[in-house]
Amino acid sequence: MMKAVSCAYVRATAQALSNSLRATGAAVATRQAHTDLQVPDFTAYRRDSVKDSRRRNESAEERKAFSYLLVGAGAVGGVYAAKGMVNAFVGSMSASADVLAMAKIEIKLADIAEGKSVTFKWRGKPLFIRHRTPAEIATERGVPTSQLRDPETDDQRVVKPEWLVVIGVCTHLGCVPIANAGDFGGYYCPCHGSHYDASGRIRKGPAPLNLEVPTHEFPDETTLVVG
């Protein structure tokens, strides 16, 4: 009550002062203000559990749990959506079934004489198939791994002892080596002088690794499948 009376008194005093100044012809600046604005009532939009301001915070945990549940459900949905998008993107970049079928090559071994190395094209790269002699097999099996830059035994590099299957790309800078050449009778890369033996292992020169051995199998005695 006292506050209302004080406000009325202040307004009356201000109005009287303004009238006096106008009467004397002085310039007066006035400011219109409203003090009867109604604050909107948002009660209808509030949860029933929080409408009572005198209620203790017993429902706080329940309300937090509900909010956390909504956030968690949204996060899980987002993760699954992102997973689907990633799988679809990766799948679009993967090779199709017909391309994968062409990724294998079947070779008739009867056409390769003993002691010969034949070159095929596989996945855009040269593929060396070498029909090794018994002497070559014995020589390569007798090489100590301590003498090798990239230690591998001959047995680790062949499925059948008489057949060597390697990718014909030098592991130095990607040149194509020459078969039946070099200091070790296997392959020789003329680009920078890398020498490989008849097991495709680097023996001399700058190449750091042995020639790559692709996945291959022998369905029968006269057929080789690479890939």
Task: Give the Cα separation of 86 and 151 in Å (integer).
Answer: 40
Of the candidates 201, 131, 197, the one whose C-alpha atom is nearest the C-alpha of residue 164 is 131
> Whose structure tokens read 């700058």?
206
The answer to whether 188 and 177 have CB atoms below 8 angstroms apart is yes
209's CB contacts (< 8 A; 6+ apart) are: 149, 150, 171, 202
* Residue 72, H or E segment: helix 60-93
Of the candidates 212, 214, 217, 227, the one whose C-alpha atom is nearest the C-alpha of residue 152 is 212
DSSP SS3 for 120:
strand
The answer to whether 159 and 217 have CB atoms below 8 angstroms apart is yes
Task: Give the Cα separation of 186 and 130 in Å (integer).
Answer: 9
Write out the two tokens for 143. 């090489």
> Which is it for the CA torsion 132, 133, 134, 139, positive or negative?
negative
Residues paired with residue 121 on neighbouring β-strands, in sequence order: 126
- Catalytic residue, candidates 34, 192, 195, 216: 192
Question: 192 catalytic, yes or no?
Answer: yes
The answer to whether 211 and 187 have CB atoms below 8 angstroms apart is yes
**Active site (catalytic) residues:** 192
